[in-house]
Amino acid sequence: MTETDPTAPQFDRHMLEALICPQTHSVLEYDAEAHELISRNAGLAFPIRSGIPILLIDEARTLD
């Protein structure tokens, strides 16, 4: 199953209220299309895999 698979588990948006950026401790934005959590302050996008947010800085991609 891939992250773009429509049958993949969906991210629980209510969980977003409890999650913060591990680097800046700021709020995260949910990008449903890219399956990512965005930290604008850190300039990072954290992947969501199988409905689970991966909040490891080493796993994040840098925003353009």
Radius of gyration of the chain (CA): 11
pLDDT bin (cut points 50, 70, 90) of residue 7 is low
pLDDT bin (cut points 50, 70, 90) of residue 3 is very low
Residue 33 lies in a domain: yes
pLDDT bin (cut points 50, 70, 90) of residue 1 is very low
d(CA 1, CA 61): 21
- Virtual CA dihedral for 15, 21, 27, 29, nearest 10 degrees? -70
Domain count for the chain, please give it: 1
* Whole-structure pTM value: 0.80
Please list, in sequence order, all residues whose beta carbon lies within 8 angstroms of the beta carbon of residue 16, skipping any fewer than 6 positions away: 28, 30, 37
Residue 8 lies in a domain: no
Residue 35 lies in a domain: yes
Q: Is the pLDDT at 12 greater than 60, yes or no?
A: yes
Residue 5 lies in a domain: no
- Candidates 27, 26, 28; CA nearest to 45 is 28
Residue 1 lies in a domain: no
Q: Is the pLDDT at 16 greater than 90, yes or no?
A: no
